[in-house]
Structure 1
Amino acid sequence: MLSKIAVLALPGMEVFEFGVLCEVFGVDRTDDGLPPFDLRVVTATPGQVALPHGMSLSVARGLEEAADADLVAVPAAPIGVDVDPRVLDALRSAHERGAWVLSACSGAFVLGAAGLLDGRPSTTHWRHAARLAATYPGTDVDPGVLFVERDRIVTGAGTAAGIDAALHVVRTELGARAASIIARRMVVPPQRDGGQAQYIATPVPECSDDGYAAVVEWIEQHLADDLSVEVLAAHALQSTRTFARRFREATGTTPAAWVARQRLARAQHLLESTDLGVDEIARTVGFGQAAVLRHHFATVLGTSPQAYRRRFSVVPA
């Protein structure tokens, strides 16, 4: 049963992610038929906890108040800063007794420092994913998802994904209705489609060989045409094998993968800035059929063209 919640107050933590955890678990929703949560904000040394932007938070409760919590939650925390060993011990103890442990955004680094990510998948804000993987090589970091859960250890992705991670715990423990009630009160969807990948800027790999710059420019101008490796090799006046090898050396990827990423980037731009239909966009960028465009969106971005347009379009409805 999810009843007692401890949210860690860490020096330098981000206020938004801390607020998200307090909002999900700290608001009385018994009038909606939900059981009450006993939320406790705790810290290693009770007193004033320094926050960004010249703010501070007065916390009266110490880590002993987390000793019987059903969930211990970690907000986004500064990266590269030593974490108080007492905090790490509290997290390890929580996991050992079977409690949930949850992190939001860069709070995953705190879980990593406690050794809780070793042998488990994890996520964090996409900008920090590579650093998390390098700092804690024992975890498999997925930068494209909104949250990951294994063995009651949940890591949420960037910023607002802390809501998704927290609602996952509610949904697992109290059911979908409880998660929906909380989400409705917070005016957010109870379960978002897609993942963090659709928010990541993924530029097409640059060409490091000036000799191929003209070929790359020609590709960008002819995305709707047949751009098979045979066609590209003929345009470059090279054999297929030589072109494929040298193109990979110049761009770090295959001609087919490079073309597909160019087409996907163009499709993203058209969905954001025009009202062209999905079928027309698929033809315009060279995917031919809408089904092919949808496949690439699902594979790379974890969403559909229609959902992407609803989220990122700048064209007035």
Structure 2
Amino acid sequence: MQAPRFLPDVLAAAIARRMWPTLALLLPLATLTACGQDKSVTWQGYVEGEFVSVASPFAGRLDSLAVQRGQQVGKGTALFVLESDDERAARQQAAEQLRAAEAQLADMKTGKRPVEVDVSRAQLAQAQATAQRSAAQFRRDQQQYDIGGISQAQLEESRATAASDAARVRELQRDIDVARLPGRDAQQAAQAAQVEAARAALAQAEWKLSRKAVSATQAGLVYDTPYRLGEWVPAGSPVVRMLPPGNVKVRFYVPETVVGALRNGQSVQVRCDGCSAQVAATISYVSNEAEYTPPVIYSNETRRKLVFLIEARPAEADAPKLRPGQPVEVLQP
């Protein structure tokens, strides 16, 4: 006998009537479970530090290291000192050369010393007496010549002697006048240039000496100290590596469907293992070019291959909570 076509519908209705009480109990539980699930979107990333390498532009032996790894230092804290015997000697030499140039310029401005002028005056008095004597002798010879007492040659010699002594008097008078005058303008200008050159050489020597003792230009964490006391440090080689709080940033990647909604200045929340609370950060960079997902970033949706790099920086007070290389999760704002 063929079963009626409506039999499956009857059986389905009967099963439904028997299971309805169970479904009524499971439905609220499923609803609560769905509501309890975290539907927030997160992006994976990591913490990166922009380290500051503190070095001296000159080579030298490491004589003093005032900090150690893991130490927090403030702005202006002394970090290290390199030996500076050569720089100290160069500064002393430049200082002495500057003093010599300044003294020579001052001497040009004042003329000869009073003692030197007195010597010239004594020579002038002596020359004046000689000139007077030779002039008197010439007058007597002239009278003798007029009466035929001496020859023409003797008279000419007497005249020449008187003229020479008179010229010597005029010469010494001019020397005294010149001795009272300062150096010529061109000479003073040239010496003033020498003074400025010596002053610049001294400033350069002091700058070189100051670069042998290095202090922190900003506060931060001493991340590493590659050298030990007594080691030779090449010029420009970092002696201290620092991580200022403002140089800590979070790099994470978002799909192209999200990047259009992110802007510089937006706030995000960063979550990391071991962090007692989420860390607030501010987006500082949004890449304009897509790239393939880096191998260190793992996504639950592997079908999204192209992502955009985003950088966010925490506040300086929160930066010490994050460590370079630490994996983090960034919550969608």
* TM-score bracket for this pair, using the shorter chain length: under 0.3
Higher normalized strand content (fraction of residues) = 2
TM-score by length of 2: 0.14
Q: Which has the higher contact order (CA 8 A, sep 6+)?
A: 2
- Whose radius of gyration is greater, 1 or 2? 2
TM-score by length of 1: 0.15
